[in-house]
Structure 1
Amino acid sequence: MATADAVLTAGDRNGGMLTARLSALMFMQFFVWGAGAVTLGLVMQTVGIGNLIGNAFSVGPIASIAGSFLLGMAAARYVSPKMLMVILHLLGGVLLFILPTLLTPETGSTFVWLLLGYMMLYMPTVGLANTIALKSFGDRTDNFPFVRAFGTLGWITAGLIIGWAGLSASPQIFRVAAVVSIALGFYSLTLPNVEADKPSDEGIVRQVLCVEAFGLLQQRSFLIFILCATLISIPLAMYYAYASPFVGAAGITNVGGTLAIGQMSELVFMFSMPWLYRRFGVKPLLLVGMLAWALRYALFAIGDGGGSLWAVYLGVALHGVCYDFFFVAGAIYTGTIATPKGVNAQAQGMLTLFTYGVGMLLGSQIGAFLYSQLPANPTIADWHQMWWYPAIAAALIAILFQLTFRDNSRGDHRMGATA
């Protein structure tokens, strides 16, 4: 049963103080990830374990699958989202303090294994943070994009601080992340005390296997959404892994600054999403997000260091549409489907499992295969050939979604609509 302090009042839901508290949550949540991830490849190359970069970038998707299932979904039955955030970020902060000591040629393999352990603690918190925000806002989910935008601000701020402090190639990036992780663990004690997923009369095995959450896939529309979300995460992984060397091959010297354009556009569209939701509804935004992926890679496939350099910049700038219109919209849609069943936290964990887990793991492997077909020092023409594959794939996924998806979660699925 819900306790008195577990039920948010209407005033708390709509107050500016709640929005500020949840914005701080998202800022720190993604600051931790950005601090440890943006320059990880450069750090590993600098300390002499560049041969393990591929393994290090594979642990995130693997952790999304295992960690989201065991901690983000199963544990959500027994522990409130708030307390899970406290436990996972405090434990994760301890591991982050240890990681720099293992960044040596002699202990490189141990570093990768401990990084896997850390990511298994971190990845479930992405879905948990979404759950806390969405449950706290109640029906006013049009506030969620504004709050989630502070996650992007956190990621950008982490990169700026790392660069300003001269730590881009230093193992100390993990200690910066550790400080904020521990701070977030303690800060989570102050978060709204939203309820854990509803208790179930199912047997323990069925609860641990999250049968009820996976049962949401019996709804045709949600099954199609999860399938398309998994598939569209494949080109997402390819962007994260290969955008920076491609931008460099195009003759752009300020690679980091150029890629930051994508994060800035993410902010712009994140702040505009409440109005877009009220105006257009869910399906059009999901579809535009997928079409943007196809357009981005088509632009990469024609962009070069000459007269078509504009296509590279435009492709990077489309990141806001690609990410916000699909992944932020998808988190809200998942909450809408899961709330009547009382499995919101499990469903968010399941979404993380399929997107950041299965989809990005497939994307990492497929991208690695396509990249292996390129010459040792690929020219811009070689890159063009590679980018056509995800461009065509994203277009086909968008067509599949348009033809098969029907949003029947509400009679009039408009974000923020009130009586």
Structure 2
Amino acid sequence: MDVRGTVAGGFEPVRDAFVRNFTALGDRGAAVAVYRDGRKVVDLWAGTKDVDGTEPWQRGTAQVVRSATKGVAAAVPLLLHQRGELDLDAPVGEYWPEFKAQSSVRHILNHRAGLPALDLPLTPAEALDPLRGPEAVAAQAPAWEPGTDHGYHALTYGWLVDGLVRRVTGRGTGEWLADEVAGPLGLDLWLGLPPSAADRAGRVGPLPEPEPSASSGPRLRPKRAVTAAYEDPSSLTRRAFAAITPFPDQNDPAYRALAMPATNGVATAEGLARFYASLIDHVDGVRLFTPRTVARARAEESAGPDRVLVVGTRFGLGYMLHGSASPLLSPASFGHPGRGGALGFADPEEGVAFGYVTNGFRKTVTADPRAQALIRAVRAAL
């Protein structure tokens, strides 16, 4: 493999695992970055920019990171709270009068709002209207009493966050993120890809599923109940992931230009890792979260059987926590995977921040074997 980039001394196992992701797990194009105590110690990339192309992946190649977007978007309401502009325990309707469910701001972030699905899914054209999704979720009756249970808000999370942020700040989540986070930190990370960066984003698509082997690490087999939930059109699981039907082409420039805080962020691995590093440490003089906000983000808010994903999940405020559904570096870690491969997280106890992006999607929802192999290598290096 022609792997480009650098690793600091002691982190060579991460490079070895990255190579195996191509030779054993079929990656077409990918990058991984790791920060330690605010300093970049891993920055690697290899393969092709497009999943179906031959142009080489370059330094600065970016990809759609799907639900890893949620962890980036979660920083916005938490920073608004940190600045005293948003009360996490206030009713959403206090900021957003059109919002009908009796949900608090906290319930949006910990997936307890009861609004994972829409009775009438949006069409792709409707989803490209930045106001239509928030309008739909504001009028939706909850599937359970808010606060009494939790279930992954796969797509509606983005509209909930965006509708709230717009009413508090007058700006959409993507615009706020660009002005207040990505700009000051110099992040190659966008929620609403601007024309100036459009050529840097590769084409994404599915990869053939590899045969299991001893070198590929553990493979998580879906349980029968999970499979049945995804196959049942009436299940909350299926309806949550079908809140836009059919789902837009993720390579469509119009889709990428829209800010959908649940699913269509575009980032480099370095941008994703640098973002998480800035949550827990100073990066070139900039730190986003205070220690108190870090503690709040990673404190367990929801745990146990997930009404949507069916398996057990753990959430803090906007972030998935280390557990069987999404194994991270340690119990102190918080972050978010993207369905099919991408992952970003921080671990304040180890001082580690991690970003992995790929143009080739697998069927995995929360624990992709490629990302898991890289995490094991980081753990070994530490």
**Fold shared per TM-score above 0.5:** no
Shorter-chain TM-score: which interval? under 0.3
TM-score (norm 1): 0.26
Q: TM-score w.r.t. structure 2 length?
A: 0.28
Which has a greater percent of helix? 1
Task: Compare the two structures and name the one with the higher strand fraction.
Answer: 2
When Rg is computed on C-alpha atoms for both structures, the one with the higher figure is 1
